A = this chain, B = another copy of it.
Amino acid sequence: MAKFKHHVFICINERDESASRPSCSGDGSGRLKSAFKDAVKEAGLKGQVRANELGCLDQCEHGPVVVVYPDAVWYGAVSAKDVEEIVNEHLLHGRPVERLRLADTCLNTESCPHKPMLKRM
């Protein structure tokens, strides 16, 4: 087997409640890795797709945040119930899930059209 077809990174950063930015883990990102693991197995992609949890991806107001490489597709406000769709549509069939996708203009910016909707503070 060669390199992974897709590599999924899930932010599980946890901040103190008094922090000025929200936490992906506070919005349930801790359940995403096992959901990805199950859905990847179910889709027959075991060994071709890896999911890793990690610290802050710096898109905190859009959390829970997931990024899929090498496509560099960023998803925001991801919940465990979205995972099967991401795996089946994007990872299996190459069709990113547009309703969850963060536009390039939403990344690494102070403000964007979706922030008020997604903001969980």
Is A42 close to B, CB under 8 A?
A: no
Given A108-B1, A109-B1, A7–B50 Cβ distance below 8 Å?
no
Cβ of A47 within 8 Å of any chain B Cβ, yes or no, is yes
**In the complex, are the beta carbons of B3 and A104 less than 8 A apart?**
yes
Task: State the number of copies, please.
Answer: 2
Name the one of B2, B53, B55, B108 contacting A2, with C-beta atoms under 8 angstroms: B108
Name the CB-closest residue of B to A71: B70
Question: Are A1's CB and B52's CB within 8 A?
Answer: no
Cβ contacts under 8 Å, A4 to chain B: 72, 107-108
Asked whether A67 and B7 contact (CB < 8 A) given A1-B108, A53-B54, A54-B53, the answer is yes
* Shortest distance between the CB of A70 and any CB in chain B (Å): 4
Residues in B whose Cβ lies below 8 Å from that of A57? 50, 52
**A105: B residues at CB distance < 8 A:** 2
In angstroms, Cα B44 to Cα A57, docked, is 20
For residue A98, CB closer than 8 A to chain B, the reply is no
Chain B residues closer than 8 Å to A58, beta-carbon distance: 50
Q: A-side interface residues toward B, CB under 8 Å?
A: 1-4, 7, 9, 47, 50, 52-58, 67, 69-72, 74, 104-105, 107-109
